[in-house]
Amino acid sequence: MKTGFDNDKYICIQSEHIKERIAKFKGKLYLELGGKLFDDYHASRVLPGFQPDSKLSMFSKISDQIEIVIVISAEDIVKNKVRADLGITYDEDVLRLRDEFIGRGFTVGSVVITHYNGQHSADDFRKRLERLGIRSYVHYLIDGYPHNVSLIASEDGFGKNDYVETERPLVIVTAPGPGSGKMAVCLSQLYNEHRRGIEAGYAKFETFPVWNLPLKHPVNIAYEAATADLNDVNMIDPFHLEAYNKIAINYNRDIEIFPVLNALFEGIYGNNPYKSPTDMGVNMVGFCISDDGICCDASANEIIRRYYDATNKFANGANNEAEVQKIQLLFNQAKISTDYRRVTVAAKERRDRCGKPCAAIELSDGTVITSETSPLLGPSAALILNAAKHLAGIDHSVKLIPQAMIEPIQKTKVEYLGGNNPRLHTDEVLVALSVLSQADDNCRKALSVLPQFRGCQVHSTVMLSEVDRKIFKKLGVGLTCEPVKKK
């Protein structure tokens, strides 16, 4: 995979910048962590070369000073909101994140449920946390948030929230996804720490939007596509422009909340150390892009991927038409269409020729391989075989899996397991190849090239089964599907 981001440089300058920020505050610093701490796949997709666990690598060096607080919105619990890249709900991801953090040597102090208004499902989740021995707190909805500063910074605002007990000097506040209320938790803690005579500081570690890239840079547009369900909007930071006469990019929620932060800091310290929302950040990612063209291309693909994800959800009955329309508008800003993806065009062209569901993959060298459904194989399974043969130098005419082996599998699926689709899925093809590889050199070669799928792009003209989606994910493939259900 081509890289456009210097990950080693990022770890070096980002860690130094965070240490400098910690040194500015005495006693305690609340660091709001946007994005993911150890599995930031969005960043790794739009910035090829960025490692999903880069942030973890930085923080592991000072893990003895860190305490993690995980935040989840009660509204996301009610909606059973799903983390798209993992396919699990946010409440399940809270537990997964906690286990992952603890397994990597970090201390997880508690879980905070935000936007709380007596939701039964939130109460049930809190009881579940209690049974697991996990401390939890609730932060309430505040009328007029974030504009009613006098109410927010009062006993009836932040003063009503549970005080989150923490023990270590650096408190990282993170969440399964955006819109969870991380910043509000940090601000509430500043207010309640002050009531207890504790001076605490705040900083924001948000990877996107990238403040020192242009407003309409594809990397920043891809962030808007990723948060289209929240209707986040990238904006020029007006406070930064006024203070420094320099353009910096931020997004609407940070800009809207800044007067609250400003009022809180003035109330606690007499002055605000930050002149703009951008000042709050510690993001150095924009200084580590080594090839802008590669990152622009990757970001364009990400915008299209987000569009197909949204249209697939809509086709499955989700009420997300506004999300789809938002990403369509972003297409215009990025000056792209779905045809920007070569595999999208190739798959649809083959479908138009044969009239069957088809798929296409673009390999790392730019070669595009296509496939179509057949009585024996679905388009995804056929695509894996076709691409593996190409990469292994096996003639396309060679049948890696003999029909005599496929037919008994089909019989088991339909007659014994009651399935409706006799065609082999991707996982079944890979198992068959594994069995045959013990005696067949071609099958062994085909399996050996599977690591070369990582970073490749795939498009299907029909929505794939969950099994096929998971296989492509495990192979590290960027997958998109037309919002068309299989017949």
Kindly state the average pLDDT of the residues 405-433.
90
Condensed to tens digits (0 to 9), the pLDDT of residues 63-108 reads 888 999 999 999 999 999 988 777 899 999 999 999 999 999 999 9
| Confidence band, pLDDT 50/70/90 cuts, at residue 446 | very high
Query: Computed from CA positions of residues 413, 416, 417, 419, in that sequence, does the dihedral angle turn out positive or negative?
Result: positive
pTM of the model: 0.85
**Which of 143-157, 180-194, 356-370 ranks highest by mean pLDDT?**
356-370
| Confidence band, pLDDT 50/70/90 cuts, at residue 358 | very high
Same domain, 269 and 409: no
Q: Which of 247, 272, 291 lies at the terminal end of a domain, its last residue?
A: 291
Domain assignment of residue 319, yes or no: no
Write the CATH number for 172.
Answer: 3.10.630.10
Domain assignment of residue 334, yes or no: no
Same domain, 188 and 267: yes
Domain assignment of residue 405, yes or no: yes
Say how many C-beta atoms besides its own lie within 10 A of residue 233's C-beta: 13
Kindly state the average pLDDT of the residues 119-128.
98
Domain assignment of residue 221, yes or no: yes
Reduced to 3 states (helix: H, G, I; strand: E, B; else coil), residue 108 is strand
Q: Of the candidates 167, 166, 148, which has an alpha carbon nearest to the alpha carbon of residue 156?
A: 148
Same domain, 458 and 385: yes
| Confidence band, pLDDT 50/70/90 cuts, at residue 357 | very high
| Confidence band, pLDDT 50/70/90 cuts, at residue 285 | very high
| Confidence band, pLDDT 50/70/90 cuts, at residue 459 | very high
Domain encompassing residue 52: 7-291
Mean pLDDT of the chain: 93
Amino acid at 157: G
Q: Which of 291, 309, 333 lies at the terminal end of a domain, its last residue?
A: 291
Q: What is the pLDDT of residue 84?
A: 73
Condensed to tens digits (0 to 9), the pLDDT of residues 295-337 reads 999 999 999 999 999 999 999 999 999 999 999 999 999 999 9
Q: What is the pLDDT of residue 378?
A: 92
- CA-CA distance, 260 to 250, in Å (whole number)? 16
Same domain, 283 and 353: no
- CA-CA distance, 5 to 13, in Å (whole number)? 13
Total domains present in the chain? 2
Same domain, 244 and 351: no
Q: What is the pLDDT of residue 401?
A: 93
**Buried b / exposed e along 91-107 (16+ C-beta atoms within 10 A):** bbbbbebbebbeeeebe
Same domain, 269 and 385: no
Reply yes or no on whether the pLDDT at 269 is more than 80: no
Write the CATH number for 453.
Answer: 3.40.140.40
Cβ atoms of residues 269 and 442 within 8 Å: no
- CA-CA distance, 261 to 279, in Å (whole number)? 12
| Confidence band, pLDDT 50/70/90 cuts, at residue 268 | confident
Same domain, 352 and 265: no
Condensed to tens digits (0 to 9), the pLDDT of residues 196-234 reads 988 888 999 989 999 999 999 999 999 999 999 888 899
Q: Which of 229, 263, 291 lies at the terminal end of a domain, its last residue?
A: 291
Give CA separation, 480 vs 98, 295, 337, 369, in Å.
30, 19, 14, 15
Q: What is the pLDDT of residue 302?
A: 96
